[in-house]
Amino acid sequence: MTGSVTLHDVARRAGVSLATASRALNGSANRVVGEALRERVLRAAAELRYSPNAHAQAMARRRTRIIGLSLHDIADPYFSAVAAGVMREAETHGLLVTMASTGHRPGAETDYVGAFRRHWATVVIVVGSRTDDRAATDRLAEELAAFEAEGGRAVAVSQPRLPVDTISIDNRAGARDLGHTLHDLGHRRFAVLAGPADLLTAAERVDGFREAVAHRGGRLAPEHVVPGPFTRDGGYAAMQRLLDEEPDVSCVFAVNDVMAVGAMAALRDRGVDLPAGMAVAGFDDIATLRDVSPALTTVRIPLEEIGALAVRLALDEGADRPRLRRVAGEVVVRASTPRLPA
């Protein structure tokens, strides 16, 4: 990058030293720069369209104003909602966010956290939820610990067992509440599209739902719990497999909205009338999906708020860390789960 104007140029044009120029521009603490000089410097800077080099500042100050955000897939509305919250909050603090999509690749999070560490990010936020690969989790934990040891602040969202502040979505309680609600609507025979086996978030939702069913004296048959990717197509395929077994079921719970919508498509393609022929419920309350028809019963998670909270948590100089914040979901009943005629 050639030709950029440096502080040196500004100082020369204003006829002052580098030190004075620097002080004039950032109004350095416990040091006053004469009004006249400050004026001169500011004017010179403006005339030259000077903008300080962020890396040089980072070197000298030994810190930056960037947030590193690692998530699975920005195209997934779940993650983009969280990202939106992070970015909104970041902006109010004058922070820039650099983002990485791990694409569900195990280990990628650790690599990216490493990159953020190399960049002296002030804050790193990882949102995910892998649970199976214990070794990978340990390496991530180690990397995050190193990052915090160097003065950074990390927050994990939906990613337990990490030695940093974490925000935990109460998946279990949300799914349980949903289960009870569906039971109250008269449903007794359930199936679950369970999502990926290795995703803790998915597992918790299944468990919570199972608890509710059990609590009401029912039982979730193992063959009615079908796994699959956390995507629209995953939901579609899982629903097809389920239908192939001709299950005796009146209501299917997909552990996220995206899958639920895929499941609805599969049902329709098989000629099932919705919502009369089958009730469908999801999880997350993705904004973009609120207008599917029939409108989806789901558990609302304040995703954007969670993103903002992550930033605030990281910036908050509280003691006794790591801290844990639980955020609850709220069942929203819509048209996709009508009351079952007795």
Identify what 18 binds: DNA, a second copy, none; CB under 5 to 8 Å per kind. Answer: DNA
Tell the smallest beta-carbon distance from residue 66 to DNA (Å): 16
Applying CB under 8 A, what is the total number of residues that bind a second copy?
63
CB 30 within 8 A of CB 43: no
Is 232 in a helix, a strand, or coil?
helix
The DSSP string of 28-70 is: -TT----HHHHHHHHHHHHHHT----HHHHHHHHT---EEEEE
Among 12, 88, 93, 241, binds a second copy (CB under 8 A): 88
Identify what 152 binds: DNA, a second copy, none; CB under 5 to 8 Å per kind. Answer: a second copy
Tell the smallest beta-carbon distance from residue 28 to DNA (Å): 5
Is 28 or 288 the residue whose CB approaches a second copy more closely? 288
Tell the smallest beta-carbon distance from residue 109 to a second copy (Å): 13
Q: List residues near DNA by CB under 7 A.
A: 4, 6-8, 15-20, 22-23, 25-26, 28, 31-34, 36-37, 50, 52-53, 56-57, 59-62
CA-to-CA separations, 158 to 42, 112, 201, 247, 328, in angstroms, rounded:
46, 17, 7, 32, 12
Is 2 or 271 the residue whose CB approaches DNA more closely? 2
Tell the smallest beta-carbon distance from residue 234 to a second copy (Å): 13
Which backbone phi and psi does 97 adopt, to 5 degrees? Answer: -115, 130
Tell the smallest beta-carbon distance from residue 30 to DNA (Å): 8
Closest by CA to 33, choosing from 59, 11, 52, 49, is 11
CB 311 within 8 A of CB 123: yes
3-state helix, strand, coil in the chain (%, to 5): 45, 15, 35
CB 191 within 8 A of CB 279: no
Binding residues (CB under 8 A) for a second copy: these are 1-4, 49, 51-56, 58-59, 62-64, 66, 73-75, 77, 80-81, 83-84, 87-88, 91, 96-101, 103, 114-115, 117-120, 146, 149-152, 232, 258, 261-262, 264-265, 268, 274, 286-293, 304
